[in-house]
Each structure stands twice: as C-alpha cells, then as structure tokens.
Structure 1
Amino acid sequence: MKKIFLTLGLAGCFFSQAKEIHDSLFIPKEFSPMVFDDCDACGCAAGNGSSGFESLLNPQFIGVKYFAQHYRAKENLFVNDLTQDQYFNTVQLWGKIPVAKNVSVYASIPFQFHTKKTLQGDINIEGIGDANVMGIYQIIDSKDSSHQLNGGFGVKIPIGKFDEKGITGVNPSFQLGTGSWDYQMVLNYKFQKDKLAVLLNTDYTLKTENKKHYRFGNQWNYAATGFYRLWKNENSIISGKFGMQGEVYDWNRQFGEVMPKTAGSALYGKLGFEASYKKFSLGSEVMLPAYTNLAGGDIEAKSRFSVFVNFGI
C-alpha cells in the first residue's frame, strides 16, 4: 500500500488542469488556488501535522477543518519496541480572504485535543493552539490561467499552552503550542490544462526560542498534488486528488544546546477528493507514510486523515 501511494504521488507531478472551456474542470479565474502546509498541531518534530488548504475549486473561503494524526513511539528508554500510540487531533477555523488586487490574507486558529496511551493510562491534553496569519501575493498569473505562482510570508502567534514538562518525554511535540513566535515563507506553483492539474508547494518555517529557553527545530515542507476532474454539471464539480508530501525537521535546542533524537524526516503518499456545489466545497484526504525516520527512530508516523467544509467568498 505504501508503494502504491508513493507511485501515485510521483505520478501527480506530471498532471495538470484548466479553466472552463468545453471539457475543462471549470475553475473561473477568480478561483485560482493557493496551497501551503501550515503547522496544525504544534510545529515541531512528530505531531506537527503539516496539512494546509488545497481547495482547487474554492480557494477564497472561510471554513472549518478536522485533522487527525497517529504516531507510535517508544514507551521509555528501556524498551526497543514502539508501543505507545499517540493521537493528535485538531479542529480549526480557517479562511483565505482577498484584501487587494493580487493580495490575500490567510488565517487559522486551532483547537487541539491530543492523547497518548501509556502503560500507566491515557494522558490527554486539550485547548486552543497557536494561531497563524499569512499574507499571500500572486506573483504570476498567465492570461489563460494555465500558470500561476504565489508567494507568502506568515507568522505563528503563540497563544497555545506550552508545558515545559512535556519536553522530557519521547515526543516533545506533545503540546498545545510551541510558546514561540515562528515565521513561515511559502512558494506555490500551479499548472493546469484540460481535466488535469498539478500543484507544487514548498514552505519553510523558522522557529524561535520560547520563554522557557526551548526552541523547536526549523521545518521544511514540500508537496506535489495532482487533481483530476471526475464529474461536473452547471453547479457542481467532483475531483479526485493524489500526491506526495514530505517534511524535514531540524534539531530542537534548549539553552542553545542541541537536544538528541529530535530531528527527522517523513514522506507521505496521499489520496483524496474534493467536491463543490455553488459556493460550498467539501474535501477529504488520507495520508500514509512511504518513509519515516523521526526522533532517531524512536517515533514512527502511522497515518493522517483530514476533512474540511468551506464557503467561497
């Protein structure tokens, strides 16, 4: 299954899509997409959930999204097996709103509820996570809308609770927030023709030290997503999507010293769909790891799932 997802993801790099002309996917020019992966969970190694919006059909929107992640970690230092299941869940309000010609603002605020199952019983935390705000600028938009390039710069606002005791566990990312102001840069490219489309995205998050002198490692995300129009009529469209997504994490640091077994990387294959009816859109995707090497092998990525409902503006 992992090999199938990875193959589909790589194949997505060759696909594309177009605006409505006869047999196209019907994407008016004002519905040009902006895609990036923001830090839904806590912006650090495992548990950071990189799952931004990919609304090809309704990219100017307000909505709500649910995002779930599953990891398996070592229970303690004295065992070799990965026995502890960790579940990171996020419900977030989000939106992308145009404010001027070629300029939009993206914002999100999450509510987190996380669980890890230990030998001594379940440990649960819940509460508001860190908010994100980003300015997005449309750099290139070809006359036929077949090519589009967008760039953005954003900030993560530390309103989620950071628990210093949490960094002593196998996964220091088991937090509601990082406690730090973090900064994100993103670049997104779209190419579309006929029924197919490809979206390429890369972003980098620069993380700073919080008040407890802890700094989560910087993060680089990259993704390629292909869309294929399955069905449409005058008011509705259904599209399938597939692709790949990778994440690379630098070392965490405390008082400037590198924390061992905190860097890592993971690569996922993803498969999903998106449907729209007039100004409403519904989308979902499942992600499975093709490669995972987190925290020196002490944490293994298992699966991710997301679903969103948006209203176009």
Structure 2
Amino acid sequence: MKKLISISVLTLFAINCSLACDICGGGLGNTYTGLLPNFNKRFIGIRYHFNQLYTQLDIHGNRTAISNKEKYNTVELWGAWNVGSRWRVMAIVPYSQIQKYSYGSSEKNQKSGLGDLNISGLYNLINKSSNSFRQSLWVGIGVKLPVGTYNKNEYSNTNSPNIYQLGTGSTDFTTSINYDIRYNNLGLNTNMSYKINTENKDDYLYGNKLTVSGSIYYNTVISESITLRPNVGLMHETQEKDHTMGYKIDGTGGYNTNINMGIEANIKNIALGFTYQKPTKQEISQGRTQLINKFLTHITFTF
C-alpha cells in the first residue's frame, strides 16, 4: 500500500509540475484519448470530438467586429491490436468539419475532409496484477502522416493561429507514456505525450506540443457483464510558437488547462464513453484566442 501511495503522489506531482496545456484543439491532431476501453486483444470504434473557440480577439481579449467563432466537429475511426503480450499497435483516422462564423454577422465559411492519419506502436514495460492491485506502464512512439489538406492561402498575419486547416501538411512524430494504477476499485490513469512537428512544403512549422493528463476513476461493477468507470481529472497542454521561413510567428503558441469529467461503460464487448472538458486557465495566441469547451464520446467494440 505504501508503494501504491508513493507512486501515485510522484505521478500527480509530475503532472502538476509539467504545466502543459491545450491549444485550440482544431483539426490539427487532438492528442487526448481519455481512458482506453478495457480489452485483451483488440478493439475498433468510432469517436466524436466537438470543440469551439473565438479567434482574432483584441489585445484585451474582447470580441470585436473582426472576431470569429470557430466550431470543430471530428469523427474518428480508431482501433488497437495487441501483438503478443507486450506490444500494441494503434491507429486513428479522422474526418473533420470546420465552421468559421464572423462574430456579429451571419457570414460563415466551412470546410470538411479527411485529417492526418496517426499510427503508433506501444510497448508494455510494466504489467502487474493481484486480487486487489493492478498497474501497467506503456511507452510508445508514433507518426502522423499528412493525409489532410493544408491550404497555405488560409494563413495570413491576422493575430489568429493557423488552425483553420484539415491537416498540417507535414510528417510529425510523437512519443507517449501511459501509466495506470488501481487499488481495489480506485484507480489513477496518467498520460503524457510530446509531439515533434516538421516543416511542411510551404515553409510552415507548427510548434512542438506537450500534453499531460491525469484522471482518478472508480471501477464500479454493476453485474458480470456491465462495468462503469466515472472519472475526473486535469489535462494540460503547452505549445511552442510556430515558425515560417525560419522566423518565429507572434500570436501563436501558448498554454491551457482543462478539467475533465467523464464516464466509461463496458457492456459485454461494447465500450461506451463520454468526456467533457472545461478550460480553467488559458493564454493562447497572446490572449487573442479563447477556448470555450469540448466534449468527446465514443462507441467501441472489443474482440
């Protein structure tokens, strides 16, 4: 029990010290996965993300006649396959619809299409379990392939981040760590990922991004075939400034902190989940972008 408490405290300390945050979260690669469904070999499912934000605010963070409200709807096909007892392969294929409204008018721009393909491989470094205690540690690397459309004409120096895009136009790389620990029915799940971006063919380089999340959950067994896992936690993300032609771009990068609340349900071989994210602190694009809220839901089949 002392070992469990020590590991939990150290993990929470690492999360709070990292001060990562969520940047915009448009069609450019949402790295938040939430609690993965319980599965032994493989799963496949559909996830849906929704988030909205204001851009082109004035220097005091107020909305003006040139401000925009942007909405992002993303449907993802996602799946994972365990290879042997230690290896796991995961893939996410997104399809996004982006809507941009001019604040105070009915003018609307819209685009939709495939986003960038994410593929990752993970290794199970720690896997221990007993009647009352479980812990696992997965480490992984991944690649994001430029499948989504990137339109260089969408970007101009408007004090607005270059997020009205379906893809980045670049091949990017991620590293990740997932640690889960549970004593009886009370558990702690933590995730950390670092995304390394490369410059696309139009000489635009998105800033690297660090994401850290931690959730406390309670495993509630309703029956032999039904299990619920309500959870609450924090997600932090920080992103460096973008660059173009080798020059740093003002009005990009920043940080955000979200509180996450959700529930996961397993009904035989069907997993259902819902997560709501509310920003609690943010400083994005030098205060000229404001996140509003997000939610994520999924239906997944384990087999």
Provide the residue aligned with 1:24 in structure 2. Answer: none
Please give the root-mean-square deviation of Cα atoms over the aligned residues, in Å: 2.5
Q: TM-score, normalised by structure 2?
A: 0.85
- Find out whether 1:102 has 2:83 as its counterpart: no
Secondary structure at 1:62 match in 2: strand
Give the counterpart of 2:45 among 63, 79, 91: 63
Output the CA distance in 2 between the equivalents of 1:267 and 1:157.
Answer: 27
What are the equivalent positions in structure 2 for 1:275-286 lying under 5 Å apart?
275-286=265-276
Instruction: Answer whether contact 1:66 1:307 (CA < 8 A) is retained.
Output: yes
Compared CA separation, residues 40 and 264, structure 1 to 2 (3 A): closer
- Post-superposition shift, 1:50? 3.5
Provide the residue aligned with 1:208 in structure 2. Answer: 198
Secondary structure at 2:153 match in 1: helix
- Post-superposition shift, 1:148? 1.2
Write the letter of the residue equivalent to 2:79.
G
Provide the residue aligned with 1:156 in structure 2. Answer: 144
Q: TM-score, normalised by structure 1?
A: 0.82
Write the letter of the residue equivalent to 1:64.
I
Provide the residue aligned with 1:132 in structure 2. Answer: 118
Write the letter of the residue equivalent to 1:282.
L
Output the CA distance in 1 between the equivalents of 2:48 and 2:295.
Answer: 8
Output the CA distance in 2 between the equivalents of 1:68 and 1:55.
Answer: 19
Provide the residue aligned with 1:29 in structure 2. Answer: none
Write the letter of the residue equivalent to 1:134.
S
5+ residue gaps, structure 1, are 1-9, 15-36
Give the counterpart of 1:147 among 135, 145, 148: 135
Compared CA separation, residues 157 and 53, structure 1 to 2 (3 A): farther
Compared CA separation, residues 70 and 40, structure 1 to 2 (3 A): closer
What are the equivalent positions in structure 2 for 1:40-59 lying under 5 Å apart?
41-43=26-28, 49-58=30-39
Provide the residue aligned with 1:239 in structure 2. Answer: 229
Provide the residue aligned with 1:121 in structure 2. Answer: 107
Secondary structure at 1:175 match in 2: coil
Secondary structure at 2:154 match in 1: helix
Compared CA separation, residues 294 and 88, structure 1 to 2 (3 A): same
Instruction: Answer whether contact 1:202 1:220 (CA < 8 A) is retained.
Output: yes
Write the letter of the residue equivalent to 1:71.
L
Output the CA distance in 2 between the equivalents of 1:79 and 1:102.
Answer: 48
Query: 1:188-241 CA deviation, whole Å, 9 max, x = no partner?
Result: 111101111101111100000000010100000000011113442011111211
Give the counterpart of 1:89 among 65, 73, 76: 73
- Post-superposition shift, 1:55? 2.0
Instruction: Answer whether contact 1:40 1:90 (CA < 8 A) is retained.
Output: no
- Find out whether 1:190 has 2:180 as its counterpart: yes
Output the CA distance in 2 between the equivalents of 1:109 and 1:213.
Answer: 25
Write the letter of the residue equivalent to 2:178.
N
Secondary structure at 1:51 match in 2: coil
Output the CA distance in 1 between the equivalents of 2:181 and 2:81.
Answer: 22
Query: 1:251-270 CA deviation, whole Å, 9 max, x = no partner?
Result: 10001110111010000001
Output the CA distance in 2 between the equivalents of 1:286 and 1:143.
Answer: 30
Compared CA separation, residues 233 and 216, structure 1 to 2 (3 A): same
Provide the residue aligned with 1:273 in structure 2. Answer: 263
Output the CA distance in 2 between the equivalents of 1:291 and 1:77.
Answer: 17
Instruction: Answer whether contact 1:13 1:225 (CA < 8 A) is retained.
Output: no
Instruction: Answer whether contact 2:37 2:266 (CA < 8 A) is retained.
Output: no
Instruction: Answer whether contact 2:113 2:166 (CA < 8 A) is retained.
Output: yes
Query: 1:67-105 CA deviation, whole Å, 9 max, x = no partner?
Result: 011111226889952642111110000001112330010
- Post-superposition shift, 1:277? 0.9
Secondary structure at 1:146 match in 2: strand
What are the equivalent positions in structure 2 for 1:234-313 lying under 5 Å apart?
234-313=224-303
Provide the residue aligned with 1:73 in structure 2. Answer: 55
5+ residue gaps, structure 2, are 1-8, 14-21
Query: 1:102-140 CA deviation, whole Å, 9 max, x = no partner?
Result: 001000100010111014711111000000000010011
